[in-house]
Structures are given as C-alpha cells and as structure tokens.
Amino acid sequence: MSDLPRSQHIVASGLVAAVGITVAYLSYTQEPAAAFLFPRLISTVFVVLALWTFGKALLGRTKVGNGLSRTAMMNILPGLITALVFVFWAAKGLGFYTASTITFFILLSLYDPAPHNEAKTWIKRAIITAGFLAVMYGLFAMLLNVFTPREIFF
C-alpha cells in the first residue's frame, strides 16, 4: 500500500474529527440547553465515529484506495464551496429554511446527471427541492422542535 492514500486518509479523517470536536464543543457550550439537545446528540455521535475513523487511520487499519484524484477533487469542489457558503453565511443570513432550499437546489442541479437544457428536468428538480424543504420543516420544526437560525424569510 502506498503512503500517499494512507496519509490522505489520516489528514482527511483528522480534519473531520477536528470539525466534529469543534461542533460538539459549540453545541455543549451554547444556551438555552434545551435548544441544543438535538445538536448535542448528533455531534456526540459524529465525534465518536470521526475519532474512531481517525484512530483506525493512524493505526493503518483502514482499507484505503488510491486516494482522491485531481478529477475527483474537481468534482467535489463546487459542492464543498456551496456547503461552506451555507454553513458560514447563508443559514444565518437568509434563514435556515430559505438557505437550505437554495443550497439543496444548487447541489441537486450541480450533481444531477439529467440534462440541463430541458424544462422537465428543472421542474423535477424544483419538485424534489420542495419535497426536501417539506421534510426538513416537518422534521426540525414540528417533530424535533429544533431551533433553527431565523432571519429574513423564516
């Protein structure tokens, strides 16, 4: 096994573990505590899995492939940029549900292999996005009573 894929896996899993620990720390230090119950649960599970993966990478017990090629990275990059804009600006600036809808539609449009020059594929994307928003709203607002960032729309 080459050292490059293993080192890529160590770096990637280490970064994911660091993000997980940061998110967990933030969720456990925010008030009111009731508003952060769901994020605390999810972030705790995320940290456990991320640390487990990082530990396996450090010990060399992961089954790694050939690493990420430049082509794969270029395919991932637009989605990563979109996700970062959502996390660091859009969710707070536009409101959680508005930003989630826009982000989901952009990601769906970027990665959907259906043709981009046909009206019916855009209608399908809009319907899928509306369904996604309905599920998100039902899950977070109605079922889990999770507080979401609220700004200009809702």
Q: What tens digit of pLDDT does each residue of 83-92 get? A: 989 888 887 7
Residue 2 predicted with pLDDT over 60: no
Residue 24 predicted with pLDDT over 70: yes
Residue 94 predicted with pLDDT over 90: no
Residues 9 and 53 in one domain: yes
Residues 12 and 48 in one domain: yes
Residues 86 and 154 in one domain: yes
Residue 9 predicted with pLDDT over 70: yes
Residues 55 and 34 in one domain: yes
For the chain, the average pLDDT equals: 85
pLDDT attached to residue 149: 60
Q: Among 11, 42, 67, identify where a domain stops.
A: 67
Residues 108 and 147 in one domain: yes
Q: What is the 3-state secondary structure (H, E, C) of 75-110?
A: HHHHHHHHHHHHHHHHHHHHCHHHHHHHHHHHHHHH
Q: Among 9, 42, 67, identify where a domain stops.
A: 67
Residue 55 predicted with pLDDT over 60: yes
Residues 76 and 128 in one domain: yes
Q: What tens digit of pLDDT does each residue of 138-152 get? A: 887 777 777 666 655
Confidence of residue 136 (pLDDT cuts 50, 70, 90): confident
Burial class (CB in 10 A: 0-12, 13-18, 19+), 72: exposed
Q: What whole-number percentage of the chain has pLDDT above 90?
A: 41
Residue 102 predicted with pLDDT over 90: yes
Residue at token pair 């952009």: 106
Domain that holds residue 55: 1-67
pTM: 0.63
* Non-local CB neighbours of 154 within 8 Å, separated by 6+ positions: 95, 97, 98
Please give the helix or strand (H or E) that residue 130 lies within, else none. Answer: helix 119-137
